[in-house]
Amino acid sequence: MPGNSFGKIFKLTTFGESHGVAIGGIIDGCPARLDIDTKKVQNDLDRRRPGQSSIVTQRKEPDTVEFLSGIFEGKATGTPIGFVIKNANQKSKDYSHIKDTYRPSHADYTYDEKYGIRDYRGGGRSSARETASRVVAGSIAKQLLEKVQINAFVSSVGKLELKRGFDELDFSEIEKNPVRCPDAETASEMEKYIKEIRSEGDTVGGTVQCIIKNVPKGLGEPVFDKLHAELGKAMLSINAVKGFEYGSGFEGTKMRGSEHNDHFNKDGTTKTNLSGGIQGGISNGMDIYFKVAFKPVATLMQKQATINSKGEEVEMQGKGRHDPCVVPRAVPIVEAMAALVLADYFLQNKTSKI
């Protein structure tokens, strides 16, 4: 069943395998007359691109987006926006080591079980390469949400956590270091740790936090399509994500109602914001904040025992250039998915009342 579309009104459908001809997508439902700055889109793509710093994969992919339709003289026309990102060097790789081998904690085995066939080249559709298309669409969604500010950053790498609350952070620091952690000192420790991990041929997990400011009130469609439910789905659909919490999250479960309730100011804002900007599934105008858990990358530069498609035990080792830790490059993806949800719910809310 189709699972490659996201959104109801601002709707992205994507295609493409890691090492096929190209990846890309169609954005249907973007309101006409929106000014679209394609340079901003490319800038966001560049934040996700392999090879951008010394702590991410050193693969070479220029990741240049080409728009094919739906934009005319710098504006959206209301018709679908088609785009492609060509895959560089897609024919030159040697995949004999994974053709019949199931890499541990990858999707090789499950794709074979589900589809009975698998494009094994570079992980095919299960590769995180497809998230580049999300970044393209998310970047246009951000342009629709002119006044909304979406800032994601790395909040932990392994056991190294950013200790400061998000109200104390300066988001302009995020892009100043390769980890994308808005605290120079913590970022530096994280960077050092990632390099250590890589030198051991190992990988490590981490978390990304996202803060959204200036959200219009009223976004969210109870009862099943609550705003945080869709944000959760959006984040959980990103490769390697294992968890999502918003507002007080898991820590909030330990609290009493008398501590947890957010009391109102006269203007409808709240004195605290343990609700995370969403009440009853609908935005209340306060900051939305949430945290996303990323597992360690499964591809190791170490030998691992595994099985092949015949059920035989074999040994394998990751080849090529992989991320030792995914969270620095995940930051723009988290932002993109958040933007897609908000743009879609912003448009959905246009018909909530007469």
Q: Which stretch binds a copy of itself (CB under 8 A): 3-11, 43-51, 52-60, 169-177?
A: 3-11
From 55, 107, 150, 174, residue interacting with a copy of itself (rule: CB under 8 A) = 107
Q: Which of 57, 156, 177, 209 binds a copy of itself (CB under 8 A)?
A: 156
Q: How far is the CB of 172 from a copy of itself (least distance, A)?
A: 26
Interacting span for a copy of itself (CB under 8 A) from 2-10, 57-65, 92-100, 174-182: 2-10
| Spatial separation of the C-alpha atoms in residues 90 and 62, rounded to whole Å | 13
57 is an interface residue for a copy of itself by CB under 8 A: no
Rg of the chain on CA atoms, in Å: 21
Taking CB under 8 A as the rule, which mask of x and - marks residues 255-284 in contact with a copy of itself?
xxxxxxxxxxxxxx-x---xxx-xxxxxxx
Q: Which of 31, 38, 42, 52 binds a copy of itself (CB under 8 A)?
A: 31
Q: Which of 47, 48, 49, 106 binds a copy of itself (CB under 8 A)?
A: 106
Please, which residue, 107 or 150, has the CB nearer to a copy of itself? 107
* Alpha carbon distance 69, 254 (integer Å): 51
**Residue (39 or 159) nearer to a copy of itself, CB:** 159
217 is a contact residue toward a copy of itself (CB under 8 A): yes
Report if residue 88 touches a copy of itself, rule: CB under 8 A: no
* Stretch near a copy of itself under the rule CB under 8 A, chosen from 41-49, 56-64, 81-89, 165-173: 81-89
Alpha carbon separation from 17 to 90, 271, 291 (Å, rounded): 10, 48, 28
- What span, in angstroms and rounded, lies between the C-alpha atoms of 278 and 264? 14
Among 38, 42, 52, 77, interactor with a copy of itself by CB under 8 A = 77
Classified as helix, coil or strand, 79 is coil
Task: Tell me how far apart the alpha carbons of residues 203 and 201 are, in angstroms, rounded to a whole number.
Answer: 7
List binders of a copy of itself among 305-334 (CB under 8 A).
305-307, 311-313
Shortest Å distance, C-beta 312 to a copy of itself: 7
Does residue 289 bind a copy of itself (CB under 8 A)?
no
Of 83, 70, 89, 56, whose CA–CA distance to 321 is shortest? Answer: 56
Give the C-alpha distances (Å, rounded to integers) separating 320 from 54, 201, 269.
Answer: 15, 12, 51
Residue 84 C-beta-side C-alpha neighbours within 13 Å: 9
Closest CA to 152 of 324, 350, 294, 295: 294
Q: Report d(CA 260, CA 274) in Å as an integer.
A: 6
